[in-house]
Amino acid sequence: MAHVPHPFYLCRMSDSILPGQRLRGRGADTNRAGRFEATSREAYDDGWDIAEEDRTVRTEVREERPRSAINYNRSPDLPFDRSINPYRGCEHGCVYCYARPTHSYLNLSPGLDFETRLVARPGIASVLDSELRKAAYRVQPIAIGTNTDPYQPVEQTYGIMRQVLGVLAAFRHPVWITTRGTTVERDIDLIAPLAAQGLAAVSISVTTLDDTLARKMEPRAPAPKRRLQMIERLARAGIPVRIQVSPLIPALTDHELESVMAAGRDAGARYANSIPLRLPLEVSQIFQDWLQATLPDRAARVMGRVRELHGGKTYDAEFGTRMRGQGLWADLIHRRADLARKRLGLGEGLPPLRTDLFALPPKAGDQLALF
């Protein structure tokens, strides 16, 4: 992993894969330009009779000096109105990731760039501390991991998520965490005390129990069995855990819905939910390219069912249906999920978190009160 310790600045590479580049362990097989780019670039043979050296595409991390920590949203589809992103991009490389289009705002490709050209945000914990101290701040649960995974491999080097959790713990601030990264186990010592106060819960994403399929779809994420082990360890520490069977991919993983929920319950999860596959903006073509290259015999059937879910399109961004889908198949999936939860004794949403314990801790250097 290449580390570039200077303020954030990135230039986009060629839209196509360069000669000699090896994509082992990567999800996207393209680096096509994002939607804001006026031009595209293409790699081609320049005619020189010089053999290209094979080279693995490595992860590069740049640093961004954050000016704000909390992102606010007004989406009626989401159970939270604020979130924190310790990183931009995600090395897990999940080919279906709906967050890929956010890399276009950085003039980078939602394809290979998204999983190889990451942005770390050291200092965000200090910014968060300042924002929580503002007189106008009103506490509500903060979601972390809803865009890119805060426990992706780079967290082992930077420890930004741990710093953020330290601030939230100091303020006794509620937090929902979503991840598939094993480094969450490192922070059980911070999350468990928060959970004991009703201030924390964790969602673990498990899309399939098929190791081979998981490796193809999520090349640098932990194997399904390892994620179930994460659930077990978190639950054993007293942390409420939800298993997320998301995204549920029609004609590919939908048949596993009940078995994945059951495996999560057996590991200690108390809640379960599932969201059908979403393919916003550039993700649609990236996913379709992957399907054609990896599972060509299923590609037409999968995309046909995806279009059935979204009114004939590969994605419908309308509030109310974008995360649920529409039509007979969508209704059937949600009915199956409801029946599975009832049979397994699982709740659907995460437990409500307390907001009444929030308090400003003393600043470094503050004089203690005298009694």
- Residue 1's pLDDT band (cuts 50, 70, 90): low
For the stretch 112-166, pLDDT in tens is 999 999 999 999 999 999 999 999 999 999 999 999 999 999 999 999 999 999 9
For the stretch 154-186, pLDDT in tens is 999 999 999 999 999 999 999 999 999 999 999
- In 3-state terms, what secondary structure has residue 136? coil
| Distances 298 to 56, 164, 232, 292 between C-alpha atoms, Å | 29, 42, 34, 8
Give 29's contacts (C-beta < 8 A, 6+ positions apart): 17, 23, 111, 112, 289, 290, 293
Top-confidence residue, 303 or 40: 303
Q: CA-to-CA distance for 108 and 208, rounded, in angstroms? A: 30
Q: What pLDDT is stored for residue 337 in this prediction?
A: 97
Instruction: Please report the beta strands in 121-240, taking only residues with DSSP state E, as ranges in sequence order.
Output: 142-144, 175-179, 200-205
Span 222-242, mean pLDDT?
98
- In 3-state terms, what secondary structure has residue 308? helix
Q: What pLDDT is stored for residue 6 in this prediction?
A: 38
Q: What pLDDT is stored for residue 32 in this prediction?
A: 77
Q: What pLDDT is stored for residue 212 in this prediction?
A: 97
pTM for the model: 0.89
Q: What pLDDT is stored for residue 25 in this prediction?
A: 72
Beta bridge partners of 82: 72
Average pLDDT, the chain: 90
The domains of the chain, with CATH numbers, are 2-36+56-344 (3.20.20.70)
For the stretch 80-117, pLDDT in tens is 999 999 999 999 999 999 999 999 999 999 999 999 99
pLDDT at position 54 over 60: no
- Residue 53's pLDDT band (cuts 50, 70, 90): very low
Q: What pLDDT is stored for residue 42 in this prediction?
A: 59
Sign of the alpha-carbon dihedral angle for 138, 86, 15, 221: negative
pLDDT at position 2 over 60: no
